Amino acid sequence: MLLAGACAAPSVPPPPPEDQPPSASAAETEPAAPERLTPLATPADETFAALTTDDTVPAAGEPTADEDIATPPPEEARPAARVGLLLPLSGRYASEGATLLHAAQLALFDTADEHFLLLPRDTGGTATGAERAALALLEDGVDLILGPLFAEGVNAVATHARAHGVTVVAFSTDRAAASEGVYLLGHTPRAQIRRVFAHAAAKGHRRIALLAPDTRYGTAVADEAWAAAAFNGLSLTRVRTYAPDASDAADVVRALAEYDRRAKALEDERASLARQDNAAARRRLKRLKTLDTLGELPFDALLLADGGARLRQVAPLLPYYDIDPAKIRVLGTGLWEDTATLGEQALAGGWFAGPDPAARRSFEARYRRVFGESPGAIATLAYDATALAAALARAGASFGPQAIGNRGGFLGADGLFRFDNEGIAERGLAVFEVAGGGETRVVSPAPARFDTGAGTTEGS
C-alpha cells in the first residue's frame, strides 16, 4: 500500500516559495553557506489544517512497517529516489520509532517533491531485525538507507549496504559504528565537548578535570575530552571515573577534590595563626572560620559528563567536598538537558552545549501542529536525515560522499550540521548556562555557518 506524502496529496498545496531550500545557483555563488533543510517560515495555516485529516496523516502507529510513503508517479523522465528508513516500529523501542516516523513524514511535507519515495521498515529494535529489513530494502533497489537507531543494528547493516554501493545515514551516537559509507547523525559527545571546551578556553579557562561514569559513554567522553583539550590549548589535569551505580561516587569526588589534604592544610594554618599573637594573624584567623578547606585545585573547570538520576546523585557531592563553583566552572554534555537535571542547584552557573534553541522550537511547533503531540528528543534525527535525502534528490545529486560530505553543511531542525571525515556529525551548537530552577540562558549562540577551512566554527 502506498501512503501519499503531504507534499503530493492533491488537497494540499505545495510549500510557498519562501519555504524552499536555496537553489543550486545560490549555493554556487556562496559555497560556504549551509543548505537549509527546514522551512524558512511556518507554512500556511491551510496546509497544516489539511495535514491533520485522516486522509493524509495516519494516527500513531500508522503506517505499518510495510507501507511506503510516496508522491504520485513522476511526470518527468527522472526516476524517483528510493530511500529506505529503518526504525524500531515494534518491540521495546516502538515509541521512539513512532516519533522518528512522524518526524520523517514532516520532512516529506516540508521538503520532498514528486520524485522521492520513502520506504519505512520495522527493525523491531534488534540487530537481526535491522539486518533483515536492510536486505529486503537492498533487494528492492533503494538508493540510500536512513537508520537504524542503534550501533549494533548499524554494524549489521553496514556490510550489506557497502556490497550494494548504498550509503547509510544512521541515528546512532556510538562513533565506533561509523565506517566507509556509513554516516552517524546522532548527537555524539564529540560535538558537545568540542564546543563547550572552545567556549571555556575563550573565557580564560586553561586546566580541565573530567568526572564521568565508568561506562562506554564515560570512555567515549574521555577520548573526546583529550582531543578537544589538545585542540583548544587546554590541559586535562585530572580524569576520574565512578561506578555505573555511583556507589563509590562520594569517595571518588572526595579524592578529586583533594579534600583531606586541603582540610588538613586549613587545620594547620589555623593552628599556626593561633600561635601568633598579632592583629594580622587574628584577622586572617577570623576569615578562615568560614572555610572548610584551604588551597587551590589543579583545575579551573570540571567536565561532569553524566545525566539523569545518576548525575543528580553525583552533582551535590561537588560543593559538599568544597569544589567551589565560584572558582571552578562546571561543564556538561547534552545529557544535562532535562528539566529535573537543570533544577539541580549544584549545577547552577554550569555550561553545556546543545542545539540551536530557535531551530528546535520551530520544528517542535510544526510537529505539534501536525500530530497533536510533542516530539521525542530524538525526533529531529529522522527529520534531518529525510530532509537531507529529499534535498539531495531534488537537486539531482547522488547520495555519495561528495554530496553528503558538503563542507558548507546543512541547516536542519537542530540547527547547523555536517559530517566530518570520519562520517560523524559535526554540529553548530549553542552554549547554555544553567540559571537554576530548570531554566537556562544562551551565553554563546550557535554559529551561522561552518568554517570550510581546517577548523570548525566554534563561537565563543
Query: How do residues 102-131 score in pLDDT, each as one tens digit?
Result: 999 999 999 999 899 999 999 999 999 999
Same domain as 136, residue 35: yes
- 58 or 226, higher pLDDT: 226
Q: Measured between alpha carbons, how far is residue 291 from residues 257, 310, 323, 329, 356 in Å?
A: 14, 28, 12, 19, 40
Per-residue confidence (pLDDT) for residue 269, from 0 to 100: 81
With a cut of 70, say whether residue 408 has pLDDT above it: yes
How many angstroms separate the first and last alpha carbons of the chain? 51
In this predicted structure, what is the pLDDT of residue 453? 55
Examine the domain organization and report whether 134 and 250 are in the same domain: no
Q: What is the pLDDT of residue 283?
A: 86
For residue 4, pLDDT beyond 50: no
- Averaged pLDDT for residues 46-58: 27
User: What is the average per-residue pLDDT within 388-409?
Assistant: 92
- 2 bridge partner residues: 68
> The domain that contains 19 carries what CATH number?
3.40.50.2300
pLDDT (mean) for 417-428: 94
- Whether residue 370 is found in the same domain as residue 344: no
Share of the chain above pLDDT 90, in %: 67
Residues 410 and 323 in one domain: no
Q: How far apart are CA 426 and CA 436, in angstroms?
A: 29
pLDDT of residue 68: 58
CA atoms of 449 and 32, how far apart (whole Å): 7
Number of folded domains that form the chain: 2
Residues 329 and 403 in one domain: no
Read off the pLDDT of residues 201-246 as tens digits, 9 standing for 90 and up. Answer: 999 999 999 999 999 999 999 999 999 999 999 999 999 999 999 9
pLDDT on residue 358: 87
Residue 42 pLDDT class (50, 70, 90 cuts)? very low
Q: Say if residue 14 is in the same domain as residue 155.
A: yes
Does residue 207 lie in a domain region? yes
**Can you give the residue range of the structural domain that contains 394?**
2-186+356-427
Tell whether 14 and 61 lie within a shared domain. yes
| pLDDT of 166 above 50 | yes
Read off the pLDDT of residues 124-147 as tens digits, 9 standing for 90 and up: 999 999 999 999 999 999 999 999
Lay out the sheet containing 235-242: strands in order across. 235-242, 207-213, 301-304, 329-332, 351-354, 430-436, 439-444
Task: Judge whether residue 24 has pLDDT over 80.
Answer: no
264 within domain boundaries? no
**Helices and strands in the chain: count of H runs, count of E runs:** 16, 18
Clarify whether residues 68 and 208 are in a common domain: no
